[in-house]
Amino acid sequence: MKIVLVSLPASDTKESRSKIPLPLLCIAAYVRKTGHEPVIVDLFLHTPVSGKDPMDYYAEIVIKSIKENKPGLLGINCFTMIQFPVLREIMQRVRKVFPSLPSIIGGAHPTMFADDIINNCSEIDYIAIGEGELQIAALADMIEKNDYSNIASVQSFAYRVNGKAVVNPRIDYIQDLDSLPMPTWDLVDFSQYHGDHSKWFNPKNKDITIAAPVVSSRSCPYRCSFCGVDKLMGSKYRTKSPKVVVDEIEYLYKKKGVNYFAFIDDNIAVNKKHLTELCDEIRNRKLDILFSISQGLFLRNVDEEVVDMLAKTGLATVTFPIEHGDAHIRNDIIGKNVQDEQIYRVVEIFKKYNVFTLAAFIMGFPEETNETLQKTYDMIQRLSIDINYVFPLIPLPGTKVFEQVKRDNLFTYSFDASTTWQGHEDINGLRADQFYIKPYNMELTELFEWRQRFEKLKYYSERARALNL
């Protein structure tokens, strides 16, 4: 049975390392393994025609694919609350043309609001909650056989019975990640994702046309107050074997000509042994690549031995999830448990090995003050990292911060708990003109003033300014 899998547009994503729809490629690989035929429709690759309603335009692309492929199931990935209104608009248009085509959605936002979405969105039939390979494959089998007698046994799965939502609980997550097939890279036309990467740090002077996202593990064992990864991937950190990860890298390197990779693990440095063996495997196969670590890097587990190994393997760029310059907010409020001296030590080691450095900070916690933001400002100056991102805190549903902000009514926008499931198109961490939380002891005008100060520190080093002219 054919399954059309749709990746939604995301106007704030500009680099190939983040726009290739890796989650859908993983889903596609699993349903193919179980005997079905996936078709990928990436709406990111399509630019709406001037003068035409973008939602009409995107829906027409999906409808065209359905007409051409005649699938038995339509699936759409929805990662954030920003995307959900777009998903609904598209699905409502598709439903008018194909009223009986079963539909399933997945991703972070549907995971948090499965019950509400099923109860309120007739255009959506099913939701894969969290990690979704097993659910969509089970659903495809039921549709193909026209036998839904075992639907109650599909874990972490939402559906409708007599007009009301039923949510099956999760029993466990996939423990053996090596049992999952390689993502369906054969379905990707890499030329569509080529871009100008001349401004990337490129110590090997390679001809970089694309960055392929790679995942070597799932979830993170730590519980930062603003993060909801455990709701999506569980609390247990799980890894693929280094051989399986590097098999994928080698395939992309030799068969697709990819020479730059982006590890987008939630936290790649949880297990030092895993990281060491991964680098050993890449070097043993003599793969002359560059790569970045663009998500989590647990600084307490990083020492010079680790950095030396990463640099020799091809690490070009690393992002430090420092989060805050004030130790109280970073450790007691967020829960990072990383001390100032550890941050300074690790950053200096990476500089020693000429790795391009980026830092991610967050501002606007409920406990924020001018004094705490001054500490972030001072830390940025002392660290002298190449590029510094200071994002406004977004209270994501399901997180500790969200519950605190809801309890104390700190939202800066009109908040209604009964409609949160509908998503918000305007909540975007990349916007410079928005804050979503009013701190207990600060005015919003003060936050905006600090935002302007931080923006002047963004491209901090000379090489960062030169690359970003």
44-100 tens-digit pLDDT: 999 998 999 999 999 999 999 999 999 999 999 998 888 999 999 999 999 999 999
In this structure, the chain runs to a length of 469
Using alpha carbons, list the distances in angstroms from residue 180 to 133, 388, 425, 454. 9, 36, 34, 43
Output the average pLDDT for the chain: 94
* pLDDT of amino acid 437: 95
- Residue of higher predicted confidence among 50 and 156: 156
Listing DSSP states for 29-74 in one string gives: HHHHHTT-EEEEEEGGG-PPPTTS-HHHHHHHHHHHHHHHH--SEE
d(CA 125, CA 102): 6
**Residues pairing with 358 in the sheet:** 319, 387
Contact 391, 227 (CB under 8 A): no
Tokens of 83: 């995307």
Q: What are phi and psi of 213, to 5 degrees?
A: -75, 140
* pLDDT of amino acid 370: 98
Residue 7 has pLDDT above 60, yes or no: yes
d(CA 392, CA 17): 23
* pLDDT of amino acid 14: 46
Residue 32 has pLDDT above 80, yes or no: yes
* pLDDT of amino acid 80: 86
Contact 235, 184 (CB under 8 A): no
d(CA 341, CA 195): 39
d(CA 299, CA 272): 11
Tokens of 32: 């193919």
Read off the pLDDT band of 18 (50, 70, 90): low
Residue 12 has pLDDT above 60, yes or no: no
Contact 85, 78 (CB under 8 A): no
Closest CA to 202 of 274, 285, 290: 290
Residue 427 has pLDDT above 80, yes or no: no
**Residue range 278-288: mean pLDDT, rounded:** 98
Residue 160 has pLDDT above 90, yes or no: yes
* pLDDT of amino acid 137: 98
d(CA 161, CA 256): 46
Residue 191 has pLDDT above 60, yes or no: yes
Residue 181 has pLDDT above 70, yes or no: yes
Contact 396, 226 (CB under 8 A): yes
**Residue range 179-194: mean pLDDT, rounded:** 96
CA 413, chain centre distance (Å): 24
d(CA 88, CA 414): 21
Residue 169 has pLDDT above 80, yes or no: yes
H and E: helices and strands count for the chain:
17, 15
Residue 13 has pLDDT above 50, yes or no: no
d(CA 241, CA 178): 7
* pLDDT of amino acid 424: 72
Contact 431, 402 (CB under 8 A): no
- Residue of higher predicted confidence among 166 and 19: 166
Residue 116 has pLDDT above 90, yes or no: yes
**Residue range 415-431: mean pLDDT, rounded:** 77
d(CA 319, CA 308): 16
